[in-house]
């Protein structure tokens, strides 16, 4: 279980997250929605200990997430796909995947190729020369190479063509259902995301204003203007 308990966080003394509490059970698929600047990325970064100015506690599977110790925190099975394209641009697709799996000898690049055939097709190409969408898929593949028990994804569909968005969302569902990997996904693409999660959290100006079944959110039209 991932637990946020009374978490507040900010930058340079400016508050961004204000008293955030929620938890995500193992195996769940949860979406986080909110307007630009609401604090979604900050929330994701708190989950891996990447925000120094944080009060309250975050824990994963019973252990506290220590602010500043990102590497140690993520070694506990947290796969983080940050917003934007985080790949080693000069290295090939295959090298990017291999490096990501260095601490996980059981990870096979071929398994990622099966999931995303485009990465096999581009295996020898420098990651920096992939299209934006392909880099996004590579970043997801790299996170999967770390054999995560929970996947945190910050706007994975940005810049992807609708058909690729469908592929990525379908892959996430497959990963969630077949391996029991917990999925927490920040997205702007609400319809595509609601189709793959059972629960949604809406953040407004750093506070949780909705946390409930996605079906319920579909009925709460007053919240839609927020994202
Ligand atoms: N490193 C930083 N230094 C200073 N301010 C920051 C930093 N990162 C984010 N902020 C500010 O914190 C607020 C929340 O940003 P955050 O990136 O968490 O929002 P978001 O909900 O992810 O937005 P978006 O949908 O645009 O990605 C914004 O006002 C932003 O300008
Ligand atoms: Mg963001």
Q: Please compute the mean of the pLDDT values over residues 2-22 and round it to a whole number.
A: 97
E strand intervals along the chain = 2-11, 14-24, 29-34, 54-60, 63-64, 78-81, 150-154, 182-186, 199-204, 207-213
Q: Which of 42, 207, 227 to mutate to test the pocket of ligand 1 (most atoms within 8 A of CB)?
A: 42
Can you give the pLDDT at residue 74?
Answer: 85
- Ligand 1 center to residue 2 CA distance, Å? 22
User: So what's the pLDDT on residue 23?
Assistant: 97
pLDDT of 226 over the 80 cut: no
Using CA positions, which residue lies closest to atom 26 of ligand 1?
A: 36
Does residue 227 surpass a pLDDT of 80?
A: no
Which residue CA neighbors atom 1 of ligand 1 most closely?
11
Confidence of residue 138 (pLDDT cuts 50, 70, 90): very high
Check residue 65 and report its DSSP letter: P
What is the best residue among 8, 9, 10, 11 to mutate for testing ligand 1's pocket, by most ligand atoms within 8 Å of CB? 11
Residues in the chain: 227
Residue 105 CB neighbour total at 10 angstroms: 7
Ligand 2 centroid distance, CA of 110 (Å): 31
Query: Of all helices (H) and strands (E), which one includes residue 192?
Result: helix 190-194
- Average of per-residue pLDDT across 26-40: 96
Q: How far apart are CA 53 and CA 82, in angstroms?
A: 19
Query: Residues near ligand 1 with C-beta < 6 Å?
Result: 11-12, 16, 34, 36-42, 83
Number of the ligand closest to the Cα of 203 = 1
Question: Does 161 score more than 90 pLDDT?
Answer: no
For the stretch 83-123, pLDDT in tens is: 887 899 999 999 999 999 999 989 999 999 999 999 999 99
Q: Is the pLDDT of residue 224 over 80?
A: no
**pLDDT in the model for residue 57:** 97
- More confident call, 170 vs 227: 170
Is residue 187 within 8 A of residue 196, CB to CB? The reply is: no
For position 182, what pLDDT does the model report? 98
Report pLDDT for 83: 86
Report the pLDDT value the prediction gives residue 168, as an integer from 0 to 100: 87
**Closest Cα to atom 4, ligand 1: which residue?**
11
Write the pLDDT tens digit of every residue in 53-72: 999 999 999 999 998 888 88
**Number of other CB atoms surrounding residue 36 within 10 Å:** 7
* Position in ligand 1 atom list of the atom nearest CA 12: 4
Confidence of residue 75 (pLDDT cuts 50, 70, 90): confident
150 close to 177: Cβ distance less than 8 angstroms: no
Q: Write the residue with the smallest CA distance to atom 2 of ligand 1.
A: 11
Asked if 140 and 156 count as a contact pair (C-beta separation under 8 A), the reply is yes
Question: What pLDDT, on the 0 to 100 scale, is given for residue 73?
Answer: 85
Q: Say what the pTM is.
A: 0.93
Report which ligand 1 atom has the smallest distance to the Cα of 45.
18
Rg of the Cα trace of the chain? 17
- What pLDDT is stored for residue 205 in this prediction? 95
| Interval 174-223: pLDDT, tens | 899 988 999 999 998 888 999 999 999 999 999 999 999 999 988 887 77
């Amino acid at each position: 279980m991932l637990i946020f308990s009374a978490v507040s966080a900010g930058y340079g003394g400016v508050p961004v997250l204000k008293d955030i509490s929620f938890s995500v059970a193992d195996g769940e698929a949860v979406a986080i929605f909110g307007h630009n600047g609401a604090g979604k990325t900050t929330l994701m970064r708190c989950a891996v200990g990447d925000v120094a100015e944080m009060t309250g506690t975050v824990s994963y599977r019973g252990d506290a997430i220590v602010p500043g110790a990102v590497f140690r925190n993520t070694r506990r099975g947290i796969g983080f796909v940050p917003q934007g394209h985080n790949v080693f641009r000069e290295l090939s697709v295959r090298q990017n995947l291999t490096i990501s799996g260095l601490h996980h000898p059981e990870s096979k690049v071929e398994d990622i190729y099966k999931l995303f055939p485009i990465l096999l097709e581009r295996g020898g190409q420098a990651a920096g020369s992939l299209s934006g969408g392909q880099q996004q898929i590579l970043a997801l593949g790299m996170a999967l190479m770390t054999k995560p028990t929970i996947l945190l994804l910050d706007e994975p569909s940005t810049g992807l063509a609708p058909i690729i968005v469908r592929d990525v969302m379908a892959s996430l569902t497959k990963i969630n259902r077949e391996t029991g990997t917990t999925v927490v996904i920040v997205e702007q693409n609400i319809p595509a995301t609601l189709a793959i999660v059972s629960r949604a959290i809406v953040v407004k100006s750093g506070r949780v204003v909705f946390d409930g079944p996605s079906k319920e959110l579909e009925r709460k039209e007053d919240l839609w203007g927020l994202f």
